[in-house]
Amino acid sequence: MDAPVVEAANGLRVRLLRDTHADYALLARWLSDQRVLEFYEGRDTPFDYAKVVEEFGPRAEGSDEVVACIFEVGGAPLGYVQFYAVADPAEYGLEEAKGVYGIDLFIGEPEQWGHGIGTAVVKAVTQHIFERLGAQRIVVDPHVTNGRAIRSYEKCGFRRVKLLPGHELHEGAWRDCWLMVKERA
């Protein structure tokens, strides 16, 4: 069994995505669920198994800069989280990218939304990024309409710092996003 990236209270474990049928099948199930796609990737871009392997395979093999992880609670896989050093500061309207990391996540089981799990994952992963990777700041860029994600990130210490107009193409339209930043303590 590979070592977890993060192990936190309440049975939360964040581990690296594996180059296995089981992990790709999980992602294919989650990323073909319309309820998940509404908030991540878009309902017009469902993933089948082949697309998951194409997109996530390099990350699972470690040949991509994105660190891709599955998070589990009590041994049950519930979702996906990834983090990466930001390469292009302009993408987030920032002056410079040194020491800046980005994070994205989704809980793939919608009945688990709203129970504090996403907040626990973000807290654990941001702590890991600051302590182990020496980051100075961590950024997220939720759609302005994604109130649940924004609230969750605020509970983790992120602050809305800038509106990013038309920042992401989602379901056929360019969506406004908030740049939210958590600074190193």
Ligand X SMILES: CC(C)(COP(=O)(O)OP(=O)(O)OC[C@H]1O[C@@H](n2cnc3c(N)ncnc32)[C@H](O)[C@@H]1OP(=O)(O)O)[C@@H](O)C(=O)NCCC(=O)NCCS
Query: By CB under 6 A, how many residues form the interface with ligand X?
Result: 20
Which residue lies nearer to ligand X by CB, 115 or 184?
115
**Which DSSP string do the residues of 143-172 spell out, in sequence order?**
BTT-HHHHHHHHHTT-EEEEEEEEEEEETT
Q: Does 114 bind ligand X (CB under 6 A)?
A: yes
Which residue lies nearer to ligand X by CB, 134 or 147?
147
Contacts of 52 (CB under 8 A, 6+ apart): 24, 27, 28, 31
Q: Does 40 bind ligand X (CB under 6 A)?
A: yes
Instruction: In angstroms, give the least distance from the CB of 1 to ligand X.
Output: 25
Q: What is the Cα–Cα distance from 27 to 20, expressed in whole angstroms?
A: 11
Q: Among 149, 179, 180, 181, which residue interacts with ligand X (rule: CB under 6 A)?
A: 149
Which residue lies nearer to ligand X by CB, 23 or 134?
23
Contact between residue 107 and residue 86 where contact means Cβ atoms under 8 Å apart: no
Residues 64-103 that bind ligand X (CB under 6 A): none
